[in-house]
Amino acid sequence: MTRRFEDARILMYSHDTFGLGHLRRCRAIAHALVEDYSGLQILIISGATIAGAFDYRARVDFVKIPSVIKLRNGEYTSLDRHIELHETLKMRQSIIRSTAETFRPDIFVVDKEPMGLRGEVEDTLAYLKTHGTRLVLGLREIMDAPHLLEEEWKRRDTMRKIEQFYDSIWVYGPPDFYDPLVGLDVPVAVRDRMNFVGFLQRSVPHDALPGHKPEGDYILVTTGGGGDGADLIHDVIHAYQEDPELTHNALVVLGPYMPAKQRNKLIKKGSKIPFIKIIEFDNRMEELIAGARGVVSMGGYNTYCEILSFDKPALIVPRLQPREEQLIRAQRASALGLVDMLLPQEAEEPLRLAAALKALPQRAPPSLRANGLRLEGLVHISEIVGEWLDHRSKEHLAVVKRSN
């Protein structure tokens, strides 16, 4: 049942320097919340270059900040090469602060980067804290290998700042799957604020487009944003070239961030195989995954949630650097029997990959091995936000009564 909160506002921050994961996660949360609560307005601050390519429900909008891209070596650069990185970061910080001051949110949710890219939201966090905004840090269920995360956070004094600023920490996964802060020296105050809300369930949009997904059976091959996905697509095409018995229809989604040279090369190679269809981007991936017999991916957070949501057999070939997040997720899910996994070097063996692709449609879906694993993140977040907004409304009424 939809409840109404008058003029309630949530601001979300998604730094988006590599891939689509942060924006898609924020968008999923925002859409679920406005569906549950009328009167709620949500604004997403995003650095994604294609933020405008997605559909947004009524009362959800976005503010685009200048884009910064993350290179494969982990370094950052301005998308516009004519602007120095420090100038781009200064513009982003100014827009974020100005948006917060103008929008005046009740809740501010920061996705994954506690202080934002190069500390760009720290100033805004300090401002909002003095104005009574509830500050929330949202973390993937897996951040990185513990030693890598510890080194990064120690260098930036991140843990102390999390304790200083944040009221709550939402972990987007169940506690029995993984702890994103495992192996770190976590203060009791920070640990007490952590709430493992669960994986974020996905669904097909209400306005599903007829004829949007291919007719007949197909396996879906997706690398998310595609910025580092060319190797996996190449290996899939090579497997089809080397094994004449591999005849499953495959829909390959390259991703909008795949470099043009790699994209064009793969499109040319794939066009020679009658069983492969290649598209560059789709803003309704939920529909494509829901219609697939199986999914081949690198195992990013959003695709993994979609695999579980639509109960699809999956083969994961994770990225190994600069972060080990995908590797850890794939290893954990494989150990639980939820997915199959090949390391990148294993997927380079065309006949080995071909065998995995041929077996994929017949693989048992994750639900048969889930052992009660549920996707309740959006439900739990909605309940938490509802309680906070209830409390806000009661405080507002009390102030009005006192003034009368």
Residue from 285, 284, 213 nearest 249 by CA: 213
The whole-number pLDDT of residue 328 equals 98
Contact 219, 14 (CB under 8 A): no
Contact 260, 281 (CB under 8 A): no
pLDDT in tens, 9-27: 999 999 876 678 899 999 9
Note the CATH number of domain 219-368.
3.40.50.2000
The whole-number pLDDT of residue 209 equals 65
pTM over 0.75: yes
pLDDT in tens, 217-252: 999 999 988 889 999 999 999 999 999 999 999 999
The whole-number pLDDT of residue 400 equals 67
Q: Where, residue-wise, is CATH 3.40.50.2000 in the chain? A: 3-201+375-402, 219-368
DSSP, res 177: T
The whole-number pLDDT of residue 351 equals 98
The whole-number pLDDT of residue 376 equals 95
Q: Which two tokens stand for residue 354?
A: 């071909």
- Dist. CA 233–CA 214, nearest whole Å: 19
Strands (DSSP E) found in 300-361 = 314-316, 340-341
pLDDT in tens, 304-363: 999 999 999 999 999 998 889 999 999 999 999 999 999 999 999 999 999 999 999 999
Contacts made by residues 83-92, CB under 8 angstroms, sequence distance 24+ = 89/117, 89/118, 89/120, 91/65, 91/66, 92/47, 92/65, 92/66, 92/68, 92/117, 92/120
User: Which class would CATH give 3-201+375-402?
Assistant: alpha beta
The whole-number pLDDT of residue 202 equals 94
- Mapping DSSP to helix (H, G, I), strand (E, B) and coil, where does residue 12 land? strand
The whole-number pLDDT of residue 320 equals 92
List beta partners, residue 99: none
- Mapping DSSP to helix (H, G, I), strand (E, B) and coil, where does residue 159 land? helix
List the chain pLDDT tens, one digit each, 404 residues.
578 888 899 999 998 766 788 999 999 999 999 999 999 999 999 998 888 889 999 999 999 999 887 655 556 666 666 688 889 899 999 999 999 999 999 999 999 999 999 999 999 999 999 999 999 999 999 999 999 999 999 999 999 999 999 999 999 999 999 999 999 999 999 999 999 999 999 998 776 666 667 889 999 999 988 889 999 999 999 999 999 999 999 999 999 989 999 999 999 999 999 999 999 999 889 999 999 999 999 999 999 999 999 999 999 999 998 889 999 999 999 999 999 999 999 999 999 999 999 999 999 999 998 776 779 999 999 999 999 999 888 877 777 667 66
- What count of other Cβ atoms lies within 10 Å of the Cβ of residue 34? 20
